[in-house]
Amino acid sequence: MQLLSHPSLHWLVPILILGGEKKKSEKARIRKGGNILVATPGRLADHLSNTTSLDVGFVKWLVLDEGDRLMELGFEETLQQILTALNERAQKGSSKGSLANLGLPDRRITVLCSATMKSSVQKLGDMSLKDALYLKSNQKTDATNDGSKSFQAPAQLKQAYIVAPAKLRLVTLASILRRAFIRKKEHMKVIVFFSCADSVDFHYETFRKTEDKEQNDTESDTSSDGEQEAETEAEEDNKKKPKRPSLAAKSTAPLIDPAVSLFKLHGSLAQHIRTTTLNEFFHEKDGAVLFCTDVASRGLDLPNVDLVVQYDPPYSQEDYIHRIGRTARAGRDGRALLFLLPGCEEGYPSQVLGEQHLTRRLADEVLKKGFGNAPLPGAAKTVDPSWKKDFMPKTSGAKWEQEAIEFHLDVERRVLASDEFSNIAKRAFQSHIRAYATHVAAEREIFDIKQLHLGHIAKSFGLRERPGDIKLPARGKSGTISSASGKRKLDSIDTNGDGTQETQDEEELRRAAQMMRKKMREHMNIASEFNIG
C-alpha cells in the first residue's frame, strides 16, 4: 500500500480492507472506486457477500500472496468462496462490454506466490489455477520442500548464534541492543522475535523503563530556583496544550539508548494499533527496535533493518528463513543472531540449519562489549556479593560484570515493587514454557522441555520465586481479581488462544469489545500465535 500510494502513481487508486477495521469506512472507500484492491481473505469474502457496491466483474488479475500461510491458517474454504464469487461475477461482467481496447487480458490471470512449495500450496494451485506456468528464482535457491533441510541465505547476510545460560538471557539481550546503537547509525532498525505475546509485553515493559524517582528528585534538588520556575511554567503550558497521544505501541528506550524508539507488535493488539505501530516503525528516522512475535516474520517489507535477533528459537526451519528474511533485503547488508541455551540446543545449527555458516558467540564476550562502556541510567555502584556469586559464579570483578548484575537486579526490584509488572512477568514465564513445548516433532530432541532449568528461566523474567510457586490471581465472572486457591499447574492457566493469558491490567475494560471480536476470529480456525509453523 505504501508503494501504490506514492504520488508519482497518481493514476493508481488502491483500496485496503482487512479484518479489525470499521466496515463502514471500508464500504465508503469501495463506493469511491479504485483499480487495485488489497485485502485479507475473511474480510474480502465478507464484502463480496454483503457489499453491493463492490463490483468485481472486470477483475483481470488475482494475486494470492503467501499461499502456504493462507492454507496453514485455515483459509481454504474462504478462498474457495472468493474464487467462486469472482468466477460467477466475471461471467456477468463480460456481458457488459469488452476491455480489450485498453490492453487488458481477455480473462483473469491468477498469480500464486509462496516462499515454500508444500502440498498445501499445490492444492491451492489446483483449486485456483488453470494452465499454470511454474516460475522459480533459481535452481540453486529453489524453495524448500517438505522433506528438504537445506536452503541458501543471501551472501550479504551474516548469521551467528549465541550460547547464553538461561539466567543470563535478559542481560545478554540488553548488551546486544546497547552495542547495536553505539555507532549511532541513522535509520538503523532492529527486530527482536519472541515466542509469544506475553513475552513481548514483558520485555517491552522492561526496556521502556523511565528514570528512577530518586534520580529525578536529586536533579530537582540540585537545580536552581529559576530553572524550577521555568520548568513549572513549561509544565503549565504543556497542560494547556495537550499533545494528541499516538495509537502506536511505542515508547522510548533509555536502557538501550536515549535516542532509540521501542515498538511492540503481536496478534493480541487491536488491528488499528498494529497498523499504526508498523507505520511509525516504517517511517522512524532515528534508531528503532521492534519487539514482536512471528506475526511480523512474513509479508512485511521494513526498510533499513540491520539486525534480526531471534531471542526465542523458531518453531521450524521455514520460520527461521522468514525471520532472517526481514534483513539483508534488496542487496543491503544484514545480520541475524540466534539465542540458544547450552546443551541440546547447541546442535540446532548443524542438525536443522544444515549447510548454513553460523558463527558461534559466547555470552561473556557479548556482555563485555555491551556493558563495558558507560553505565546504564540509574545504575548502582555496589552489588551484593552474595547475589553476585549466585548470578555469576565465575566473576573477575570487572566493571562490565557489575553493570550486568546491577541491570538484572534492577529488573527484579521493579518486579517485586509492582504487582502489575509482577503479573506481566509471571504470564510471560508461563506462556514461554508452553510455547517451548510446541516445537515440531522433528526438533523435540533439540528443544527438550525436560532439559529446561525452570528456576533459571524464571530468573530471566525477573522472578525470584520457585517455578512451582509462580501463580497468578484468577479473574471471576464479574471481572474482579481474586486470589487463586490451591495448587495450580501451568497447563491449567486460562489462555485466550494465542498463548497469552487474558490481560489483567487497567486497559482490559477499554479493550473488552476488541477481545470479544478476537475470540470470534479464533473460532474461524485461525492458528495459534505460538506455533504458526
Please indicate, yes or no, whether residues 112 and 208 belong to a single structural domain of this protein.
no
Distance between CA atoms of residues 401 and 520, nearest Å: 49
pLDDT, tens only, 455-484? 999 999 999 999 999 988 765 444 444 444
Please indicate, yes or no, whether residues 114 and 165 belong to a single structural domain of this protein.
no
For residue 478, how many C-alpha atoms fall within 13 Å in the half-sphere facing its CB?
3
Q: Are 33 and 68 in contact (CB under 8 A)?
A: no
Please indicate, yes or no, whether residues 334 and 206 belong to a single structural domain of this protein.
yes
| Residue 49 counted as domain residue | yes
Which residue among 128, 148, 172 closes a domain? 128
| Residue 174 counted as domain residue | yes
What is the rounded (10 degree) CA torsion for 161, 167, 172, 175? 180
For residue 238, how many C-alpha atoms fall within 13 Å in the half-sphere facing its CB?
6
Dump the DSSP string for 37-62: EEE-HHHHHHHHHH-TT---TT--EE
Of 439, 417, 423, 422, residue with least CA distance to 493: 423
The number of beta carbons lying within 10 Å of the beta carbon of residue 291 is 27
Please indicate, yes or no, whether residues 273 and 333 belong to a single structural domain of this protein.
yes
| Residue 334 counted as domain residue | yes
Please indicate, yes or no, whether residues 93 and 174 belong to a single structural domain of this protein.
no
Please indicate, yes or no, whether residues 69 and 176 belong to a single structural domain of this protein.
no
pLDDT, tens only, 178-233? 999 887 666 789 999 999 999 999 999 999 965 444 444 444 444 444 444 444 55
Q: Is the pTM of this model over 0.85?
A: no
| Residue 412 counted as domain residue | yes
Task: Please report which confidence band the pLDDT of residue 394 belongs to, taking 50, 70 and 90 as the band edges.
Answer: low
| Residue 336 counted as domain residue | yes
| Residue 145 counted as domain residue | no
pLDDT, tens only, 32-47? 999 999 999 999 999 9
Task: Over range 340-352, report the average pLDDT.
Answer: 91
| pLDDT > 70: percent of the chain | 69
Please indicate, yes or no, whether residues 165 and 111 belong to a single structural domain of this protein.
no
* Contacting residues for 198 by C-beta, under 8 A, at least 6 apart: 424, 427, 428, 430, 431, 432, 499, 500, 501
Please indicate, yes or no, whether residues 115 and 193 belong to a single structural domain of this protein.
no
Q: Are 470 and 431 in contact (CB under 8 A)?
A: no
Task: Please report which confidence band the pLDDT of residue 353 belongs to, taking 50, 70 and 90 as the band edges.
Answer: confident
| Residue 218 counted as domain residue | no
Please indicate, yes or no, whether residues 164 and 94 belong to a single structural domain of this protein.
no
pLDDT at 497 over 60: no
Enclosing domain of residue 397: 157-213+245-522
Which residue among 107, 128, 149 closes a domain? 128
Task: Over range 412-426, report the average pLDDT.
Answer: 96
Please indicate, yes or no, whether residues 73 and 170 belong to a single structural domain of this protein.
no
Please indicate, yes or no, whether residues 112 and 181 belong to a single structural domain of this protein.
no
- Find the range with the poorest average confidence among 5-14, 174-183, 236-245, 501-510: 501-510
| Residue 370 counted as domain residue | yes
Which residue among 110, 128, 146 closes a domain? 128
Q: How many domains does the chain have?
A: 2
- Find the range with the poorest average confidence among 135-144, 353-362, 413-422: 135-144
CATH number at residue 63: 3.40.50.300
Please indicate, yes or no, whether residues 163 and 81 belong to a single structural domain of this protein.
no
- Residue 79: its H or E element: helix 76-94
